[in-house]
Amino acid sequence: MKDTGPRLLVALDYKDSAQCLSLVEQLNPADCRLKIGKELFTACGPSIVESVQKLGFDVFLDLKFHDIPNTVAGAVSSAAALGVWMVNVHALGGQRMMEAAREALQQSRQAPLLIAVTVLTSMDDADLRGLGIEDSAEQLVARLAQLAKTSGMDGVVSSAMEVAGMKQALGSAFLSITPGIRPASAEKDDQRRVVTPEQAMANGSDYIVVGRPITQAENPAQACAAIASSIRI
């Protein structure tokens, strides 16, 4: 069944629950879902997930689990118990780790979508060479995306620049979640591989992640609604 919910995910990059909830209370669940990452979850714990869920929002728990298979299996099981809509692991953890995560969620009553991170959108080819990886970001994303699908993931996180090729290779049902999204008028900040919301949708992205252009806007609700409207199909 096709997901009819919002395709915009707002990144809640906050250090405390008060700031976070002050922003969330201005947003409309009909316009967006919410992404909770390491900073906010480490500061506030699982209670922040429950708080925003009570306000009507679906949660993408973006903790990028990357550890031995047994540990990651336990972590995604705990995420499922929180009732999150989506959770992710890092594809560089390998096939056995991703398969362990998938198997763990098969035992959950309401399993979240399980997504794999490929290459961070803050990284470019030069960064990869610094790690001893000679492949381009595009080549590495393609390889990791294929491994993720083989391992039973529902989709991957990648730059929108790689989505079209990935969809062609792996099929339209394999989900694409794309951070590094900036409206044409916004600053790039620390992102390198950046596209606009409209470009991301045209490339085939299923969900886009937007942070500062909404959370630091003078009117966050208006900024969120404008982006959500620009990508509705």
| Residue numbers annotated as active site | 64
CA distance from start to end of the chain:
16
Q: 3-state SS string over 130-176?
A: HCCCCCCHHHHHHHHHHHHHHCCCCEEECCHHHHHHHHHHHCCCCEE
